[in-house]
Structure 1
C-alpha cells in the first residue's frame, strides 16, 4: 500500500534531504514550500511540488482534500534564530501559527504521525551537554516558537491521540544549503564569503561553541523515524557530539575551501554562548552509523559550493525592530 508523506519546507536545506530519503523509502512525497528560503532546484525528482505557505489554511485544506496523507514531516520555518528578536511578528506568524495550521489539519484528517523538526534553541543557556529531560528555557523568539509547537503537539496527543516525534537538531550544514542567507548557518556564510573573496565575519570573540552537524547524520533518521514505534511521542536531540569554537570552524572552513582566510570580528550579538547536546537517547532508539567528522563534512560541502558558486546575500524586509540590530544586518 502506498505511503504518502507531506514534507513542509521540502525545497529548503534539511527538508529536501528528508524528502530525498523518503523517496528512497518508496513514499509518495508531497512538498509544500513557499520558496522564501528554498529553491526549486532542491526539490528531488519524483516529488510532487506545491508552492505555498503553511500560513495559507485554504491551501492546506485543499492539499488534504486532494491527497490521502499518512505522515507529516514539518520542517518549514524561518530559522534565523538571531534575527528573530527583530522580526517577532513574522517569526510567530510563520513559525508558530503556520505550525498550528498543520496540527489542526493533522487532527482533522487522522494523520498517523506528525514528525516535527524543532531545535536545541528551546534549551537556552543550561548545564551542558543539553539533555531532553532539562526544562526548556528559550532565550529568543525563534526558540520560544519551537517550544510552543512542542507543547502543542503534546497537548494534541493527549486530547486527540495525535502521535508525534520531535527532533531537536543543531547547526546542520552540507550540500544544498542556502549559503546566500547572511542571517543564519555559519558554515554557509563562511563559504559564501570565501567564494566572494571577503573576510569571514564573526560576532564577538569567536569562542562560542557549537557542535556542527553534517546533513547525512540527520536527514536519513528523520525520514525513517515514522517506522520506529519506540520513538512515538518522544523528543530527541540529534546531531554531532563534538563541539568546536567558531574560531576553530573558521580555520577548518579555510582548509576545506583551500583558501587563506582573514577574520573580521564584529560586535558581540545577543546569543547563547555555548550550546551542544547529549544524544544518548537518540542513539539508543535509532542505532546510528558513525558520524561524519567535521573535516569530512566540510570537504563535501566545499565541493558543492565550489561547483555552484557564491550566492548574493539578500536583506530581510521588513525588519520590525531596529533597536539593537547588529550593524552588519542594517
Structure 2
C-alpha cells in the first residue's frame, strides 16, 4: 500500500532527509516549503514540490483538498532560538500560527497521524538530563511557540481524535544544512567560517554544552514513526546522549578540516548554558541503532561541505526589537 504524505519544510535540513526516507518507504510525498531557509536542490527528485508558506491558509487548505494525505510531517519552522527574542511576531506567525493552519486542515481531512518536530527548547533551564515528564519551562519565544503547538496537538487529539507523534530533537547537524545561516546551527556556522578563513565566533566563554546529533540518528525514525502504534499521542526526546562544549566542538571541527583553531569570543548572549536530554523513552519504542560518534559525523558533514563550498551568511531583514540585540547580529 502506498501512503501519501505532506512534508512541510521538506527543502530544509531535517525535512529533506525525512523526505528521502519516506520515498525509500514508497510514500508519495508532497513537499511544502517557502525556501526561506531551505533549497530546492535538497528536495528528492521523486517528491512533488510546492513552493509556499504554511502561513498561507488558502494554500494549505488547497493542498489538503488536492491530495488525500495519510500523514503530515511538520518540520517547517524558523528555528533560531536566540534570535527569536528579537523577532517575536515573526516567530509566532511562522512557528505557531502556521502550525495551527496545518492542524486545522489535518482535523478537517481526518489524516491518520500528525508527526511534529518540536525542540528541547521547550524545557528551558532544568535538571539534566532533560526528561519528557518534566514540565516545560521555555525561556525563549521559539521554545514557547513549540510548546504551544505541542499543547494544541494534545487538545486536538482529545477533542477531535487527531493522532500525533511529537519529537524533541536537539542540535542536529549534517549534509543539507544551511551553513550560511549565522543565527543557528553552530556546526554549520563554524564550518562556513573556516571555509572563508574567518575566526570561529563563540558567544561567551564557550563552555556551554549541547549534545550534537548527526542527522542519520534522527531523520529515519521521524519518517517511520507512524508505523509504531505505541508511539501515537506520545512525546519523545531524540538525539545524542553525549554533551560537548562549544569549545570542544570548535576543536573537533578545526581538526576535521585540517586547520588551526582561531576563536573570537563575543559577548555572552541570553541562552540556556547546558542542555542535553534522556532518550530512554525513545529507545524503548524505536530500538535505535548506536548513535554516530561526533568525530565521525563531523567528517561526513565536512565531505559534504567541501563539495558544496561556503555560503554567504544572510542577515535577517525584519528585526522587530533592537534592544539587547547582540552586536554581531546588527550588521
Q: TM-score range by the shorter chain?
A: over 0.9
Q: Secondary structure at the match of 2:288?
A: coil
Partner of 1:166: 166
TM-score by length of 2: 0.99
Residue pair 1:34, 1:52 contacting (<8 A) in 2 also: yes
Alignment of 1:185-224 (within 5 A): 185-224=185-224
Deviations 1:101-144 (A, max 9, x none): 00000000001000000000000000000000000000000000
CA distance in 1, matches of 2:86, 2:278: 30
Alignment of 1:74-93 (within 5 A): 74-93=74-93
Alignment of 1:248-259 (within 5 A): 248-259=248-259
Partner of 1:261: 261
Cα shift at 1:257: 1.1
Partner of 2:325: 325
1:297 matches 2:297: yes
Partner of 1:284: 284
Residue pair 1:82, 1:183 contacting (<8 A) in 2 also: yes
Cα shift at 1:280: 0.2
Alignment of 1:1-330 (within 5 A): 1-330=1-330
Structure 2 unaligned residues grouped into runs of 5+: none
Deviations 1:243-278 (A, max 9, x none): 000000000000111111200000000000000000
Cα shift at 1:2: 2.1
Residue pair 1:194, 1:261 contacting (<8 A) in 2 also: no
Residue pair 1:200, 1:263 contacting (<8 A) in 2 also: yes
Structure 1 unaligned residues grouped into runs of 5+: none
Q: Secondary structure at the match of 2:4?
A: strand
Cα shift at 1:45: 1.5
Q: Secondary structure at the match of 1:181?
A: coil
Deviations 1:197-245 (A, max 9, x none): 0000000000001000000000000000010000000000000000000
Q: Give the root-mean-square deviation of aligned CA atoms.
A: 0.4
CA distance in 2, matches of 1:2, 1:228: 17
Residue pair 1:86, 1:319 contacting (<8 A) in 2 also: yes
Cα shift at 1:55: 0.3
Cα shift at 1:316: 0.2
Moved over 3 A (4+): none
CA distance in 1, matches of 2:175, 2:11: 13
Residue pair 1:72, 1:115 contacting (<8 A) in 2 also: yes
Deviations 1:262-305 (A, max 9, x none): 00000000000000000000000000011100000000000000
Q: Secondary structure at the match of 1:98?
A: helix
Q: How many residues align?
A: 330
Residue pair 1:211, 1:275 contacting (<8 A) in 2 also: yes
Q: Secondary structure at the match of 1:306?
A: helix
CA distance in 1, matches of 2:2, 2:207: 49
Deviations 1:14-52 (A, max 9, x none): 000000000000000000000000000000110000000
Q: Secondary structure at the match of 2:31?
A: strand
